[in-house]
Amino acid sequence: MFLQKTIRKKVTVHGHGIHSGNACSLTFKPAPANTGVYFIRSDLPGKPFLKVHCKNVQATSYQTTIGGPDFTVATIEHCVAALSALRLDNILIELDGPEIPICDGSARDFLKALQETGMVELDQPRKYCYITEPIYFSEGDKHAYVLPYYGLRLTISIDFPHPIIGRESLDLDINEQSFAREIASARTFGFLKDVEELQSRGLAKGGSLENAIVLDETKVINPEGLRLRDEFVRHKALDALGDLVTLEMPIMGQVVLHKAGHDIMNKLVRKIIDSPHCYRHIELGANVDEAIRKYSAWNIPK
């Protein structure tokens, strides 16, 4: 059976917030089957909690922020991307403030913490959102769509008018190993002029060359340069995986993105939910092929 998973024991990641610059931490905690992923604000009276779901997304500019009537949690995408890659279905994420630690600007620290604490299977099967027909969303020259696929595949392209970035693309099957090897260490990036503008508005106070790739008009100004030749598009893949967690169950399909940021991803997830004729909720047992083909007349790529 493809069973739901959680972690064996709690584990904490420390750092500071990218916008406030304040010290902060999060603690991953195990949760029982059929719980889902929740953020808990332990610094607020009553420890309010909120589910990671697209309906709770409040902001998608430079980051993904979820919120309810009483509180928000900013920059969730790097943290929950690691959950997606590890197929962690049920987990509580307790915070001592409104921001996720930015760490080094990638998902590496979250992935390491989760792998070190270990994972355990639960007694309930995992449900997948299996795509049976294409679902498409576009806005201007940006587009995002998802196709039937036997697994999870990301096909991403970006195009920035900057001599160091330009056009980059990535096509990758996503699993724990490929995420750790190809995506987890890719850092967020920004342009010096934008950072200066954000800081003038009291934002990005915690931003530095230690937690982001920063570019001026012609080059990367980080002394160590890039970790990966195409680190920019790989970080976009990381962000996309994080935003897909707001679907509330793992997706089986090929996700194709062009110039798609957090806003487009949120709109794609909402479009998927609003297209019930294009997907099925399935549970996978020992005979995976039979389970999938039961719901689709497509020739599933191997």
Nearest-10 Cα torsion for 34, 174, 24, 193: -140
- Name every residue whose Cβ is closer than 8 Å to that of residue 124 and which is 6 or more positions away in sequence: 3, 4, 33, 34
Reported residue count of the chain is 302
Are residues 195 and 122 in contact, defined by beta-carbon separation less than 8 angstroms? Answer: no
Beta strand 279-283 with 127-131: parallel, antiparallel or unpaired? antiparallel
CA distances from 198 to 18, 65, 102, 122, 195 (A): 11, 17, 16, 44, 5
Determine the straight-line distance between the first and last CA of the chain, rounded to whole angstroms.
Answer: 20
Amino acid at residue number 121: E
Hey, which residues are catalytic here? 262
Q: How far apart are CA 295 and CA 301, in angstroms?
A: 15
The neighbour count for residue 269, using CB atoms within 10 Å, is 25
- Name every residue whose Cβ is closer than 8 Å to that of residue 163 and which is 6 or more positions away in sequence: 218, 219
